[in-house]
Homo-oligomer: A and B are copies of this chain.
Amino acid sequence: MRPDPLRCADRVGRLRSTFPETDALLILNSKNIRYLTGFTGGDGALMVGRDWLTLLVDGRYLTQARAEAGDAEILEFRRRAEGIVETARRHAAGSVGFESSVLSVEEYLKLREALPEGSLRPLPDTFQLLRAVKDDDEVDRIREAARIAGEALAAVRGMIRAGVREREIALELEYRMRRGGAERVAFETIVAAGANSALPHATPGNREIADGDFVKIDFGAVCDGYHSDETCTFAVGRVDERRRDVYGLVREAHDRAIRAIRPGVSCGEIDRTARSFLAEAGLGDAFAHGTGHGVGLDVHEMPRLAAGREEKLRAGMVVTVEPGVYLPGHWGVRIEDTVLVTEGGAEILTPTSKDLTIIRSRARRPARGSQKQGGA
């Protein structure tokens, strides 16, 4: 489904008015291009002038661009930098703002050589907040993605038991998300059991789940371009007291962070809420990543809920809250929800309960391999 053309026009207008002193903005991030025009292809360049809008694509995407981005002038390029230079010249753009985190040095040097000195200007970091506040349609899509993902997890929940391999669960979960209506999966699903759960970004491998394992599942779906992101950590079989305690501490850090969310609070403050709680419990070093990030057309986007981030939360932002504790060589716990910032606080969009779930099932077969280690 294409975004409403009026919404695109509104977004372009908002962008133009944010940078009134720049003659043209050069947009290369494909998700930003989609947000502003509806074009879903790759490898293009969007130029936003004061009273003009030009989408540059190569021959592969010409038909698609005309169909999807009706409000923009569509031009074909053979070399992207040349198309950008020609368009800037045609409109006599004396200043061109660009996404410095996206433009490569290679293309930058080509543009700098061809355009008047000083005309290329990195857009400020605040530009990256362009898509941070979602409208109702966007929230509906994230909500739908989260629903599809949650139903898929519920459907494969019975597979999580001793003797089953990580990758079998990951594959079935992804298949179910797509059968359930996801246009794709949001990212490569993580299913990490035992010692692998101590790797924040483990790749699902041939390790069999064993009695006593934590099984960390980080998964998401995509609906009309919008992502969901959720992590559940299940306990299989016996759970010793230490694991139970740490799960409870991570859960409390997660809950406190969500309770702290409301418009006007800084992103760094949410991170501090979760981090200081775990640090007081002696687990500060074991929480080796930020507390969360924005979710939308990208699964990781602005804002970041991390130490020192001054941006203020606003109603309509959608962010993850995902504290974790990782004990290398042993095990780890992460608990993650995708959350909408509302006028009154926060609404959790991901549907799965984050209470400690202990799966007491019989193994698929005698758990001979229960001491087996191994990764991807």
Query: Footprint of B on A, CB under 8 Å?
Result: 40-42, 58-64, 67, 98, 100-106, 108-109, 122, 171, 175, 178-179, 183-184, 188, 198-203, 288-289, 326, 328-329, 375-376
Contacts and interface: CB of A to CB of B under 8 A. Distances in A.
Given A183-B376, A376-B40, A63 B104 contact: no
Nearest to A105: B100
A227 to B, nearest CB: 15
Contacts of A101: 104-106
Contacts of A40: 203, 376
A200 B60 contact: yes
Contacts of A105: 98, 100-101, 103-105, 108, 122
Copies of this protein in the assembly total 2
A264 to B, nearest CB: 27
B104 A122 contact: no
Given A40-B203, A105-B104, A63 B179 contact: no
Contacts of A188: 184
A41 B201 contact: yes
26 contacts: A40-B203, A40-B376, A42-B201, A58-B289, A59-B288, A59-B289, A60-B289, A62-B328, A63-B198, A63-B199, A64-B199, A64-B202, A98-B105, A100-B104, A100-B105, A100-B109, A101-B105, A101-B106, A102-B104, A103-B104, A104-B105, A105-B108, A105-B122, A106-B122, A171-B175, A171-B179
Contacts of A198: 63
A311 B178 CA distance: 41
Nearest to A76: B288
A201 B289 contact: no
Nearest to A66: B328
Residue of A63, A67, A108, A171 contacting most chain B CB atoms (<10 Å): A63
Nearest to A332: B63
A359 to B, nearest CB: 24
B109 A122 contact: yes
A184 to B, nearest CB: 6
A259 to B, nearest CB: 26
For the complex of A and B, the 9 pairs showing the least CB-CB separation, nearest first, are A59-B288, A100-B106, A100-B105, A60-B200, A101-B106, A63-B328, A105-B108, A103-B105, A171-B178
Contacts of A104: 100-105
A40 B204 CA distance: 13
A166 to B, nearest CB: 12
Contacts of A199: 63-64
A117 to B, nearest CB: 16
A54 B178 CA distance: 41
A326 B42 CA distance: 18
A190 to B, nearest CB: 12
A61 B376 contact: no
A171 B376 CA distance: 23
A308 to B, nearest CB: 10
